[in-house]
Structure 1
């Protein structure tokens, strides 16, 4: 049999094919493109112009610069952010669809609405805390109080006669108000509003006594003197409003703290290398003085991105669950 026989050629060819097949998995892994190699989509569960949208666009742009890839913002409003969160939960775990979400859709909404299909603690990958957003307790002209101790004294003298507004049942603003009532031992009537515009209009116009408001919503009315800031709900005073005390500065309310927050999340089962890449990029973004300044100008307290976000979500789930029962939020 000659070296050029068909049988010999076929054997040599078969050997090369078998060798190639054994090497193929390693070669395939080496050939995988580095993440990211295409645009990343950040989904936001609220319309453009709100606080979550502001934070999401700011962080998205900075992340794109760090990761050297375009970042596209996709606003999917509805159900207090839950529609957007569900979309991310249902997306491929490849790092190209992320959520900049708030404490509302990541913790609160499921406690108020048990029919919600996703559980953020089980169905998402936490990538990093972006910032916390303390709430402001503000008084309108009808309340005629200038400090939190004055309010507590008045509420105790007139149980149930004072009203406070929030952006809706189960919102962070609502939880902040109910925690104040619980800790101070006072009763005020909660008035839920569908939008901040009508809430601030009623407050400034004397149709409502008090309100829990986000800093951006309250600032124009504070600057015009139409409402008064009594306290903020964070652990420390805000850089944007250094003269406004915290609720916890009242001795009887020491330790009170309840703030909204913003976080970067991905679908569950995100590959560890991609999750680490995104987390590291977020930490670098949050160290940028320009980013920090813009976040804090909006009334936020910038995080480091290294906080234990999963532990925060678990802790607040327990706290919020107690407030849901206290305020009968499911009724």
Structure 2
């Protein structure tokens, strides 16, 4: 009976083991993405406009990518804590950000080196939606429209105040843009959120305020506050009865909104980026998603928007306002 040389057996075993080791990395590299749950970070507490966008996108991406997509709320520093987490995360596609202009384009301008990330620390996947802000008057302000507001404020410089949800927020910048365009002098009061602004407007302790449209709509529709105009260049399709401020020649250059974008860490691999971009574009074209966004006051972004170019343009716009009003934290 023939026998096999022990040295040949050892050599065959060694070659077999080497082949197995060589195959293991290739198998790992070829593992499809995504193969585990994805986390979308939102830099605000639950219930706000950024959170609502994050959760709506998470549901749609989960259905299209075939894995759970979990929303993690990390509130603090005007969205910057959540953004910092994503900027520092591994670029593997499993940690993403649904962020707004506050933390992505404004925060660095008003906080300088206190913010440890920049736009370049993210991969811009796509714009999700936007909505205007709305300038409102309290019932006690004694004005019913933008013309009356302009006359009253311009003839009483420094007498009146407007409120926003904080220093360096998009709402603050919108108020300063109105002041700059109309050559108006009003005092800015920074509040800690929508609720205290509303309380002071309804109690006639504050004459004017700036809301995100979705937050202001219930109070406008109930007649508790008066809408003077929205802040984007054209009227919102959600509120065609409210004029855009830019329709008045004095405020023709007022064009600022709140927007929401899907971002990943810098250097996201192209195959991962491509899958995320495809899933997001399909989401933006979904009638159900569009309806949900419009009901919340938002306009869904076009899939053709180049987010990198959009961000660069927005930063230039905000820097002009920040420099004019000398805003800093």
Deviation at 1:223, TM superposition (A): 1.8
1:36/1:235 Cα in 2 relative to 1: closer, same or farther (>3 Å)? same
8 Å CA contact 1:121–1:310 kept in 2: the answer is no
Superposition deviation, residue 116 in structure 1: 3.2
2:49, 2:18 → 1: CA distance? 58
1:112–1:330: 8 Å Cα contact kept in structure 2? Answer: yes
Please, which runs of 5 or more residues in structure 1 have no aligned partner?
none
Matched, 1:76 2:74: yes
User: Distance between the aligned counterparts of 1:296 and 1:15, measured in 2?
Assistant: 63
CA distance change for structure 1 residues 140 and 27 in 2, over 3 Å: closer, same or farther? closer
SS at match of 1:260: strand
Distance 1:56 1:21, change over 3 A: closer
Q: Does residue 164 in structure 1 map to residue 162 in structure 2?
A: yes
> Displacement of 1:109 after TM fit?
1.2
1:58 lines up with 2:56 in the alignment: yes
Q: 1:249 maps to what in 2? A: 247
1:184 is matched with 182
1:98 is matched with which residue? Answer: 96
User: Is 1:139 equivalent to 2:137 in the alignment?
Assistant: yes
Q: 1:78 to 1:22 in 2, by over 3 A?
A: closer
Contact 2:96 2:262 in 1 (8 A): yes
Q: What's the counterpart of residue 105 of structure 2?
A: 107
In the superposition, relative to structure 1, how do residues 311 and 178 fare at CA in structure 2: closer, same or farther (>3 Å)? Answer: same
- Of 117-126 and 290-299, deviating more is 117-126
2:227 counterpart SS class: strand
After TM superposition, give the deviation of residue 25 of structure 1 in Å. Answer: 5.5
Query: CA separation of 1:146/1:122 partners in 2, compared to 1, >3 Å: closer, same or farther?
Result: same
State the SS of the aligned residue for 1:235.
Answer: coil
Deviation at 1:12, TM superposition (A): 4.9
Corresponding residue for 2:297?
299
**For residues 1-331 of structure 1, what are the structure 2 equivalents within 5 Å?**
4-12=4-12, 26=26, 28-29=28-29, 32-330=30-328
Q: Give aligned pairs, total.
A: 328
CA distance in 2, matches of 1:134, 1:227: 17
SS of the residue 1:216 aligns to: helix
Q: Distance in 1 between matches of 2:21 and 2:296?
A: 57
**CA deviation string 1:246-269 (max 9, x = no partner):** 111112322320001001111111
SS of 1:115's partner is helix
**SS of equivalent residue, structure 2 residue 233:** coil
Deviation of the 1:325 alpha carbon: 1.8
For residues 188 and 59 of structure 2, what CA distance do their matches in structure 1 show?
38
Moved more, 92-101 or 296-305: 296-305
1:257-315: CA deviations, max 9, x gaps?
00010011111111111011111101101111111111111111110243111112211
Q: Any conservation in 1 of the 2:80–2:115 contact (CA below 8 Å)?
A: no
CA distance in 1, matches of 2:55, 2:26: 39
Whole-angstrom distance in 2 between the partners of 1:48 and 1:23: 45
User: Is 1:85–1:105's contact at 8 Å kept on the other side of the alignment?
Assistant: yes
CA drift of 1:124 comes to 0.9
Partner SS for 1:135: strand
Gaps of 5+ in 2: none
Distance 2:300 2:268 in 1: 25
- Aligned-pair RMSD on alpha carbons? 2.0
Deviations 1:54-107 (A, max 9, x none): 111111111111111111111111111111111111211111111111111111
Give 3-state SS (helix, strand or coil) of 2:235's partner: coil
